[in-house]
Amino acid sequence: MKIGSILENQKFEKRIAITPEIAKKYISIGFDVHLSKNYGAHLGVTDDEYKDIGVKFSEDEKEIINLADIVVQLGLLSEEKLSLLNEGQTFIGVLNPYDNKEKLDKLKKKKVNLFSLELLPRITRAQSMDILSSQANLAGYKAVIESFAYFEKAIPMMMTAAGTIPAAKILVVGAGVAGLQAIATAKRMGGIVFATDVRMASKEQVESLGGKFLTVEGAENLETEGGYAKEASDDFKKKQEDLLSETLKKIDIVICTALIPGKRAPIIIKEDMINNMQAGSVIYDLAAIQGGNTAFTKADEITEKNGVKIMGENNILNKLPVSASSLYAKNMFNFIENLFDKENKKLNINLEDEIIEKTLIK
């Protein structure tokens, strides 16, 4: 069987879906690997590194898509390239079915098998394939580093003969994978860290990392069966707003990570809250790609309000493409290995397997 991948649009996506380490694994279980020329060159990986382990290259991206049994990418390709897919081929990536319904419906009509990895169930067996966790982990780390770069004071407490510099106070909004990594990173760098989340299960995790969990009095547990956050009631939102308003007055850096799958990101930090923050504070909004958690977030822009810098990017992982590609490629391989019948050298789309059933776009 042939597995193929072509370069993403470099303006938006620098990650790759097949690294040399993973190409070797595909070949070892019986796949032919086909990549477009200079596939990993922008990450410092030459075509020769791939060729040495048996990968085949082509300058014709159309040929790669046409001949592949499985095409693996980060996201959906252009309409023109997607039109090259035919019945029986399999396309795997982060397909964002909520926003790309029309494109995916066209492919389903052509009987292309579509798997979207962000739909993986949160079960133990799927952990090694969980692209949301592996990528969010890196995003949480990088958001802290980026926000610290724009904060014009020291982060840890420093006691000197000239006086004491107090430690920076950091608030992490949303204690999922990205938020927990942000807490750990900020704590390691000497910050005083606070966190808030609608899921009460997060309290223990936040405290185990040395953060202080901010709890709304009479809080309700807003967690879906799949482990994601769900929308809060109006009463809960009001209590949370009051708590945040008071907390933000003494916070230096805010990392926002709150997302609801398939919906616009909830606006948690309102205009009046930002107006009450200290000038020189920084907000880094990881939810920017889905509209942002603040009233002023604009993806790929730095907005300044009342002396507070608000920033976010469409794809923060473009700033860590080597590490992000390494993890994504491993997740992808683990998913395909589960889908692949090694004995008969073909895909086995077994809908009794929860992992396959949940990720297949029907």
56 with 78, same domain: the answer is: yes
**Lowest-confidence range among 20-24, 74-78, 166-170, 184-188?**
74-78
Listed in sequence order, the residues at least 6 apart from 241 whose beta carbon sits closer than 8 Å to its beta carbon are 270, 273
In a domain, 126, yes or no: no
Catalytic residue among 116, 133, 134, 205: 133
| Domain span at 68 | 2-119+322-359
Q: What mean pLDDT do residues 287-304 have?
A: 93
Catalytic residue among 28, 127, 208, 233: 127
334 with 310, same domain: the answer is: no
204 with 66, same domain: the answer is: no
Note if 147 is an active site residue.
no
303 with 327, same domain: the answer is: no
246 with 340, same domain: the answer is: no
Give the pTM.
0.90
Catalytic residue among 39, 130, 205, 284: 130
CATH number reported for the structural domain that contains residue 22 in this entry: 3.40.50.720
Note if 326 is an active site residue.
no
147 with 222, same domain: the answer is: yes
303 with 345, same domain: the answer is: no
Catalytic residue among 32, 150, 228, 278: 228
Note if 228 is an active site residue.
yes
Residue 23: per-residue pLDDT = 98
230 with 339, same domain: the answer is: no
Catalytic residue among 58, 69, 83, 122: 122
In a domain, 130, yes or no: no
**Lowest-confidence range among 20-24, 161-165, 259-263, 281-285?**
259-263
Note if 122 is an active site residue.
yes
293 with 355, same domain: the answer is: no
Q: Does position 228 have pLDDT exceeding 60, yes or no?
A: no
Q: Does position 239 have pLDDT exceeding 90, yes or no?
A: no
Number of domains in the chain: 2
Q: Does position 3 have pLDDT exceeding 70, yes or no?
A: yes
Q: Pull the structure tokens for residue 120.
A: 């993986």
Note if 99 is an active site residue.
no
In a domain, 124, yes or no: no
